[in-house]
């Protein structure tokens, strides 16, 4: 039994797995990580490993304090991944992107895979059917788009995402919502169309905090799974055990 932790840009998520079965998912605040881990370990005393992927410079001691109870593994660029990395600057490739690419490789073998992670940033990561990672793209996520319109203009208000479908904005607020949401939807659909035009036997995985909001607005058939990174961490752990 293992506990996986995803330290993202805006929040921390966790999950408990027994083999390939997810038993429970969690969302942590930054100041209550240790407290929440302690609660999880009390509920699941058979957890033997803590697997951590982080895109932030969080203090490792937060997790290493549990080494007397279980084994702690921080995913790094030096670990064994199930794909050939053809990124031109492999050491700058985000750990989260590598984990997602690994999960797609292991869970969807012999297919061309595009993983779209819609969080603070939107990342696109492509692994071909021969398990070669080629790279992808990075763009601002929904929250960053709202914030940039406010911070880099004098009069546009700071809005937050709302579950409405504006196309022709009839007010400044509606125009912002239309531009932000439709702009990202058109972007994602455009990327997917380009990949589909070049590659057959293709699968698209949408994940990240804005998964549910975006999934119903996209025209392309996708696998929507907001917890795909946590599940990918479990897959990497299983892969490591088999290949050690």
Q: Where in the chain is the domain with CATH 3.30.420.40?
A: 2-74, 84-233
Predicted confidence at residue 221, as pLDDT, reads: 74
Which position among 20, 65, 78, 96 bears the catalytic label?
96
Please determine, for residue 149, whether its predicted confidence score (pLDDT) is greater than 90: yes
**What CATH number belongs to 84-233?**
3.30.420.40
Q: pLDDT digit string (tens) for 57-106? A: 777 888 999 999 999 999 999 999 999 999 999 999 999 999 999 999 99
Across all residues in the chain, what is the average pLDDT?
Answer: 93
Question: What is the pTM assigned to this prediction?
Answer: 0.94
Q: pLDDT digit string (tens) for 106-132? A: 999 999 999 999 999 999 999 999 999
- Does CATH number 3.40.50.720 belong to domain 2-74? no
To the query of whether residue 125 is one of the catalytic residues in this protein, the response is no
Please determine, for residue 10, whether its predicted confidence score (pLDDT) is greater than 80: no
Q: Which is nearest to 77 in space by CA: 105, 106, 41, 102? A: 102
């Amino acid at each position: 039994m293992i506990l996986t932790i995803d330290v993202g840009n805006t929040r921390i998520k966790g999950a408990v797995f027994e083999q390939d079965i997810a038993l429970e998912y969690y969302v942590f605040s930054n100041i209550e990580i240790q407290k929440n881990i302690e609660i999880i370990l009390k509920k699941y005393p058979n957890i033997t490993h803590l697997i951590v992927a982080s895109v932030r410079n969080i203090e490792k001691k937060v997790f290493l304090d549990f080494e007397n109870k279980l084994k702690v593994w921080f995913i790094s660029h030096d670990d064994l991944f199930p794909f050939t990395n053809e990124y031109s600057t492999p050491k700058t490739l985000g750990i989260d992107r590598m984990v997602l690419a690994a999960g797609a490789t292991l869970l969807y073998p012999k297919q061309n895979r595009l993983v779209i992670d819609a969080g603070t940033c939107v990342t696109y990561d492509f692994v071909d059917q021969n398990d070669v990672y080629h790279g992808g793209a990075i763009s601002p996520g929904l929250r960053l788009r709202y914030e940039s319109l406010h911070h880099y203009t004098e009069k546009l208000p700071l809005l937050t995402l709302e579950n409405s479908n504006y196309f022709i904005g009839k007010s400044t607020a509606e125009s912002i919502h239309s531009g932000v949401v439709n702009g990202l939807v058109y972007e994602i659909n455009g990327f997917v169309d380009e990949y589909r035009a070049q590659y057959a036997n293709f699968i698209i995985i949408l994940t990240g905090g804005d998964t549910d909001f975006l999934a119903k607005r996209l025209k392309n058939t996708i696998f929507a799974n907001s917890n795909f990174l946590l599940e990918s961490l479990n897959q990497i752990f299983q892969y490591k055990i088999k290949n050690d």
